[in-house]
Amino acid sequence: ATSQAGASRLPSPSPHLILPGLQGQSPEVQRRREGDALYFECPYTAQTEGWQTKFWCFQKDGRCQEVVSTYSEHEKKSKDGRIKIEDKATNKTVFISMTDLKAEDSGTYFCAIYPSYNQYMPLRVVTLNVFKGEYLHPTQSKALSGSNIIPSPALPLVPHS
């Protein structure tokens, strides 16, 4: 009951509000070490038009903080060049890459389309946890770069003698 009462006091919709569709999804969690990359695919439905803008959003206060956006076969990069979005209309998929990850990149992200005024339609949600790699031996750090096998920081790797 309290959530419904709270919902009635929400401010009127703005282009930066995310839709209730996002709240029902529990985000998948991706863990990466600093310096690694995240590659993320967001399929969209046949009803989605290629010209509709696709967004990669950082979720802040329940809203979309736009990181990068694109439409119809275009590719865009963030100002620092580390984050790229590409819309492959033939595959009906938006491809996201985040490279040279930093601990401050941690947070919840989602890809979305913007089919009409005042609403984002979330496609896929991910919580990104970027941790510092101080538990890894330097030579092992290079060997594991780009790998999907991520050692837990709670279990330090011990180099073999």
HEC secondary structure over 20-80: HHHHCCCCEEEEEECCCCEEEEEECCCCCCCCCCEEEEEEECCEEEEEEEECCCCEEECCC
pTM: 0.67
- pLDDT of residue 99 exceeding 80, the answer is yes
Once rounded to an integer, what is the mean pLDDT over residues 45-49? 78
pLDDT-derived band at 134 (thresholds 50, 70, 90) equals low
3 Cβ contact list (under 8 Å, min separation 6) = none
- The beta-carbon contacts of 149-154 under 8 Å, at least 24 apart in sequence, are 150/31, 150/32, 150/33
How far apart are the C-alpha atoms of 149 and 161, rounded to whole Å?
22
Percent of the chain exceeding pLDDT 90 equals 43
> Residue 27: pLDDT band by 50, 70, 90 thresholds?
confident
Q: Does domain 14-144 have CATH number 2.60.40.10?
A: yes
